[in-house]
Amino acid sequence: MKVLAIDTASASCSAALLLGEHLLQRERLLERGHAEAILPMVDELLAEAAVPLTALTAIAFGRGPGAFTGVRLAASVTQGLAFGAGVPVVPVSDLQAIAQRALDTERAIERVLVCADARMHEVYRGCFERSPEGLARAVDAEEVLQPAAVRLPALWAERRPLAGAGSGFAAYPELRSGLTLDVILGDLLPHAAEIARLAVPEVVAGRFFQAEQALPVYLRDDVTRPSAGASRN
């Protein structure tokens, strides 16, 4: 299994190459310039591993939600690479990638509420549980909400411990007071490394797509008309 993964949905611009159990990765924290950085990262990884693009099993990408231009960039770069190499694509939720980072960081945690800052006083919200294989598994639909409207799934009421993860907790302190959580990891951003891992069972199950189906997921309906203070979302 050879999976290349890229993510540009946040300030973390990253690429990863998963070769069986061996993982190579690159990451840069950038306010802008993701488009100039991501392809050199990919080239470095493939050169380091001596793996041609055509030998990949699949290319995975962070399909969002996240920064509008970043999510669009990941999808378009993936389309171009996959089309040229003739390999399939695997879209992976950026909220799921954050949840995976939280599960890997706090081994005692079984459930994660992810709230990523969506700007305009909103968050991208998703809830995930640890699968028997240790991977983040969605328990309900992702949505964009005002912080005050964020709720935990009803079935989680008596299930502990619970973690909150994502930039929304740093941006909106009311999330901390409005929810009963045991651990808060407010500095976690999605990484290509977790996207690569999450893509593997999708590839095994045959849930992959042709290059032209590498499409972004924004959650917002008005992403093409962002306000001046939210140009990256």
Q: Do domains 2-93+190-230 and 94-185 have the same CATH topology?
A: yes
- Please state, as a whole number, how many other Cβ atoms lie within 10 Å of the Cβ of residue 6: 29
- Rounded to the nearest 5°, which phi and psi values hold at 183? -140, 140
- Report pLDDT digits (tens) over 77-88: 999 999 999 999
- Report pLDDT digits (tens) over 139-194: 999 999 999 999 999 888 777 789 999 999 999 999 988 788 999 999 999 999 99
Q: Locate tokens 């549980």: which residue?
A: 129
Q: Where are the domains of the chain?
A: 2-93+190-230, 94-185
- Report pLDDT digits (tens) over 126-138: 999 999 999 999 9
Reference 10, options 146, 188, 174, 171; nearest CA is 188
Fold of 94-185: Nucleotidyltransferase; domain 5 (3.30.420)
User: For residue 221, what pLDDT band results from cuts at 50, 70 and 90?
Assistant: low
List, in sequence order, every residue forming a beta bridge with 17; answer none if it has no partner. Answer: 4, 24
Residue 220: per-residue pLDDT: 83
The answer on pLDDT for 102 being more than 70 is yes
The answer on pLDDT for 224 being more than 50 is no
pTM for this prediction: 0.93
Average pLDDT of span 224-229: 38
Instruction: Supply the angle between the helices 192-204 and 94-105 in degrees, to the nearest 10.
Output: 110
Architecture of domain 2-93+190-230: 2-Layer Sandwich (3.30)
Start-end of H helices in the chain: 34-49, 68-85, 94-105, 168-171, 174-178, 192-204
The answer on pLDDT for 225 being more than 60 is no
Percentages helix, strand, coil for the chain, rounded to the nearest 5?
35, 25, 40
Residue 157: per-residue pLDDT: 75
The tokens for 67 are 């920064």
Residue 27: per-residue pLDDT: 97
Average pLDDT of span 29-42: 95
Start-end of H helices in 106-191: 168-171, 174-178
